[in-house]
Amino acid sequence: MIQNLFDGILVGSILSLGAIGLTMVMHMLRFANFSHAELLSLGAYVTFVFDKLLESMVPALSQTIGGLSLTFSLIFAIILSMGVTGVSAIIIDWLVFRRIRDSAGPLSMVFASFGVALIVRNLISLIFGLKPKLYSEEITFAVRVSLDPLILIKLDQVFVLCMALVIMLIFHFVLSRTTFGYALKAVSENPTLSQINGVRLALMIRLIWLIGGGLAAVAGVFYGLNNQVSFLMGKDLVLSLFAAVIVGGIGSIYGAVVGGFLVGLASNMALLILPSGYKPAVPFLIILIILSIRPTGLFGEKK
């Protein structure tokens, strides 16, 4: 029970990070982006590559931090990967979505995002192989927090959870204290009025992809640390991310954060009553329930 609670919160924090970008894109560009989850696996693999590169270039960086299995090189790799993944998101938008946005409706973008997801996911598996990867071959042992009930927690997991919370807090300050934050809020409330007030929409869209991609990369790495780095990560997470966005209400960044935690918790708590094989279907049930009782989500605006 408490173990499920902890796992739920942990997965929830990862989903929250991933859902922030998705909710911004769904609100601003008005389409459900089925390829957003692939940014998580892209970020995870790019981090993997940078990590190995840094380790071989500067062996000193391969030292682990404290009692964690994480190395310094991994931390730097994550930062680099955030940039690369964010820029990749901008490039994908520029190559595909922008063109379709100009010529066809939002549903064509949904459609294209399925195609993009297939391409990105399978290119990754073609390049990196079908076998999952691990950031560290070292086996870290879980700390037994209590025996009855049995609760096992890894230090890495605590680190991931704390980092996820710190990143969200930083993002919160950017949103609430900077002109960029106001502009972002302004654009999501009324794009035309914000344009009149000097906000460059094209630039904002690029920034949204950059931020969404960067946060997705972190989420992907954290998911990879917690499980393993696999090209199927996006496929496994896409529905949970949508569930988080819908629970929070499309366009609400804080909603996405809360939604992420709720979906993570619900998915893990559901295991108390459902056989574990049914776990992938839980986000779908959450989506159905929310859409039938409160389609605007917890924090969404009414139409």
Binding site for other proteins (CB under 8 A): 26, 31-32, 34, 96, 99-100, 103-108, 110-112, 114-119, 121-123, 125-126, 130, 179, 182-183, 185-186, 189-190, 192-201, 235, 238-239, 242, 246, 250, 275, 277-278, 280-281, 283-285, 287-288, 291-292, 295
**Cβ-based nearer residue to other proteins, 123 or 162:** 123
Shortest separation between residue 148's beta carbon and other proteins, angstroms: 30
**Cβ-based nearer residue to other proteins, 68 or 290:** 290
Shortest separation between residue 279's beta carbon and other proteins, angstroms: 8
Shortest separation between residue 44's beta carbon and other proteins, angstroms: 18
Shortest separation between residue 186's beta carbon and other proteins, angstroms: 5
| Biggest alpha carbon–alpha carbon distance for the chain | 62
Shortest separation between residue 264's beta carbon and other proteins, angstroms: 17
**Cβ-based nearer residue to other proteins, 142 or 284:** 284
**Cβ-based nearer residue to other proteins, 19 or 70:** 19
Phi-psi region of 198 (alpha: psi -120 to 50; beta: other; left: phi over 0): left
Identify any residues that bridge with 66 across adjacent strands, giving them in sequence order.
none
Shortest separation between residue 30's beta carbon and other proteins, angstroms: 8
Radius of gyration of the chain (CA): 19
Shortest separation between residue 81's beta carbon and other proteins, angstroms: 23
**Cβ-based nearer residue to other proteins, 187 or 221:** 187
**Cβ-based nearer residue to other proteins, 126 or 143:** 126
Asked if 37 and 232 touch (Cβ cutoff 8 Å), the reply is no
**Cβ-based nearer residue to other proteins, 69 or 240:** 240
| Angle at CA of residue 116, ends 211 and 259, nearest 5° | 45
